[in-house]
Every structure is written in structure tokens, then in C-alpha cells.
Structure 1
Amino acid sequence: MPLDIRNMSELPPIESQLARRLTEVDFATLGHYLEDGFCDPRLQRVAGSARLVGRAVTVRITPTDSTLLHHAAGLVGPGDVVVVDCGGDRRHAPLGEVVVNALVARGAAGAVVDGVCTDVDALRALGLPVYAYGTSLLTTKLHGIPDGGLNVPVSCGGVPVRAGDLVLGDANGLLIAPAARLAAVLDEALADDAEEPSIVAELYAGSPLGTLTGATATVQKLLSAAAPTENP
């Protein structure tokens, strides 16, 4: 397929209030309300320690050629997260010290590679959140193969990703979804987080978890419904 390069100006900006509120929510709480968008749990943070909230800039490369990624690294801006689709390759590392320095210099928020990275000690020293399946000494090259795409639909951790989607990450993993999908459940998730300290306090005061959450009442109803009825 020929190169498919789409203009960065076509990406929707992150709404500032939504971004701020997403930094306040426990990302795992969003898992109470969403099923899709959660990346393969093997795709883990290998560098950085900060929680990640940013806008996806998608890059699709061929397994051995990172030419397009080098080009994209000069286009990102503050708050962007480069999401790299390597076509299923898990051997060649397209992301290393030089590329991540380029992202840091541009103010990027993080990087996610649906594959492996290299120079992990240097990446950890830089501190930019980087997610990958692992590390490798075998790197990509600048072959200039006329294939790949920038700001095109990609796949990452088994999740379909479109440029402009929001990328959320912490030590537990990654969630990538459209802004509207996250905004739709954010109020409930923040309310849950606000209630959690009081629930924990009640647990230590002796209340059973199932009583507090309603699970025990549900189990009792299920048992009652399953109980055989006596004939008159």
C-alpha cells in the first residue's frame, strides 16, 4: 500500500476541562463502566512513572522500517502520545533513545509501541511514559519503504485506535478510546472514587463487603429464585 500521511491539523484538540478531569479519576474505575478500549495487559509501561493522559498521534510502520516514525517525531506537540503499529512485529524495536529524546524535545506526553523498544535504561532516565511489550537489541532501520501511515487507523494492544483518540495509562495498563466515550462515564467514575474512602473505612469497622456493595442481597435473591417451591 502507498504511504498514507494525513495532516496533523485534522486531529481534534483535547478539551482542556475533560483532560483535567481525566487526570483526577482512577483509570481502573473506568473499567467498572467500559468494556472496550483496554489494551492487552501484556502491553506495559517500561519507562516513566507519571500517569498518562494525551491525544493519540498514530503511526503505522512496516516491521523493519522506522522512517515514518522519525518523520512523525518532528510533528508532535505538547500532550500528544505517539501510538506505533508495527504490523504485529515483536522483534524489531522502532523506539529508542534518539526517538524518545525527539518526543521529549517536542513536549509529547508519551509513547506506545505495539511491539518492543530498546535503550530502556536511557528511556527510564528520560522519564517519558513509554509502553511496550518488552525490549530488544534488534532495531528497525531507515529503509524508506513506501508503505505505512500517519494519523491513520491502527491497532494497538488489540484495540482499534484512531488519531485523536485519548490515551490513558498508568502502572496497571492502557485505555485508548474516543473522548466522547470517556466523557460519557466520567461523572459516575469520579463519584465512585469519591465514595471509596468511606467504604474502606466501613470495612475496617466490621461491615462485610457484600453488604456495602449490595452483592450479598443479590446472592440472596438468586438463591431464593432458584429454591424449589413446595406443592400445596
Structure 2
Amino acid sequence: MGALDDLRNVTTGTITTMLLKRGIRRSWMKGPMPLVPGGKRVVGPAFTLRFVPVREDLATPESWGKPISTRAAIEDMPEGCIAIADAMGVQDSGIFGDILVMRMVKRGVQALITDGVMRDKTGILKTGLPVWCSGIAAPASVNGLTFVGWNEPIACGGCAIFPNDIIVADDDGAVVIPQALVETIASEGLEHEAYEEWVVGEVEKGAKLPGLYPMNEETRQRYEAERKKR
């Protein structure tokens, strides 16, 4: 399996810990949470979209048909990407509705993540596209936002995200992994998941946490010995 496949077996919680050990503290996006909890973990390259505060002369219903528009951006989305929209956490302007989301599905987009809100919830749910957002609002994006571009560096939920950074999202939210660290985080993440699975088993048997989590040298030797037996 490749690194992206490996990451499907690593939780966002573990990924933030692995990145913290590398000095990266801002990897979890504040705001986006799954619109439908309990779905599969998604992993893929970021396709970025950027909104700025509303400019009434530019953010109009007519702007939806212009070359720089959310519609044009969707037509540029490659299959397998995860769309990441910087909506600055604005809570009263839904950036995408059911029709645009359905077009993303037809383009082969894996998921949509935003620190803003969505609209047309019932229709979005029918599309089946996994969505992470900070809520739902009826007004359209142009009520509070101006769309200005795509495939450029953005800030989403307090994180810097560059095009093709790797995104992982599950029930705990969404995290971003810099491209240069993907292989390392995937490898270390799988090892950490195996360790925590073993710790859970020890706790279930009645083991005390000191020396177990985190493990001391004695516990480490016992853990490694047991792993070799598997």
C-alpha cells in the first residue's frame, strides 16, 4: 500500500500528534466537522478555493456566470481531490448548495471541507458527497463573501493549506499534512495506531497508565517482544 492508503488507517488525532513531534502545531482545521458523522475517513490532495469579505459591487448573483466563479473552479477540480474552501469562518452565507455539490460528485471529487457553512442541506445529503463544514445557512455566498480564486495558498480553520497538501478527515475533523511529511507521518502513524491498540488491550486487562502510556523502557521491551510473536 502507498502512503495515502496507509493514512486511511490513521486517525486525525494520531496525525496531529505525529505532526506535533515535527514541530507543526496548526494542522487541525477549526470549524469543519462532518455534516454526517460516522462516515469513512477520506484522504486526498487539496484543491483550494478562496473567499474574501463581501464586496457588494463584485459579489452579485451575476458573478456566478463570470470566469472567476465557484462554477468555473468546480470545472477545474481533478478526480480524487478534496475541495478545501477558505470562507473565513463566515456563518451566515452558505458557500455551496446541492447543485454545485452534485457537480463535484460528477467530477469525481472525494469530499468538500470548509470553515464556512453550506446551504440546501437536504439536497446535499442526497448527493452523497462527504462534507465537513461549520454549519448550515440559507443565504447564498454573495450575501457575505466574494469568491476570488482557486488552486492557491489559503487559510482554512486557522491552518495554512497549499494546493496538493494531503488532507485527512474523519469524525474528529480535518487535518492537513505538508507534502514533504506524508510518507513519514503515514509510517509513524500506523506504528502509533498499533501501539495504542495494544495499550487499550492492556488497560482492559486492568493495567495502570504510569509507565504504560507513554511507555517506559520496561514496557517498551514487553511491547516489542509481543509484537514479534504476532
8 Å contact from structure 2 (residues 151, 163) kept in 1: yes
Matches within 5 A, 1:52-131: 52-63=42-53, 65=59, 67=64, 68-131=69-132
1:89, 1:192 → 2: CA distance? 36
Match of 2:14 among 24, 29, 39: 29
8 Å contact from structure 1 (residues 47, 123) kept in 2: no
1:175, 1:160 → 2: CA distance? 11
Q: Percent identity?
A: 25
Two-structure CA RMSD over aligned residues (Å) = 2.4
Q: Does 1:45 align with 2:34?
A: yes
8 Å contact from structure 2 (residues 42, 110) kept in 1: yes
Instruction: Give per-residue Cα distances to partners, 1:105-150, cap 9 Å, x unaligned.
Output: 01101111221101112222222111111110111259xx7x6121
Name structure 1 gaps, 5 residues minimum. Answer: 1-15, 218-232
2:206, 2:142 → 1: CA distance? 61
Instruction: Give per-residue Cα distances to partners, 1:51-107, cap 9 Å, x unaligned.
Output: 111111111134554732111111212211111122453211111101110100011
User: Which is higher, the Rg of structure 1 or of structure 2?
Assistant: 1
8 Å contact from structure 1 (residues 154, 161) kept in 2: yes
Q: TM-score if structure 1 supplies the norm length?
A: 0.76
Q: TM-score if structure 2 supplies the norm length?
A: 0.77
Name structure 2 gaps, 5 residues minimum. Answer: 20-24, 218-230
Greater mean deviation of Cα atoms: 63-72 or 91-100: 63-72
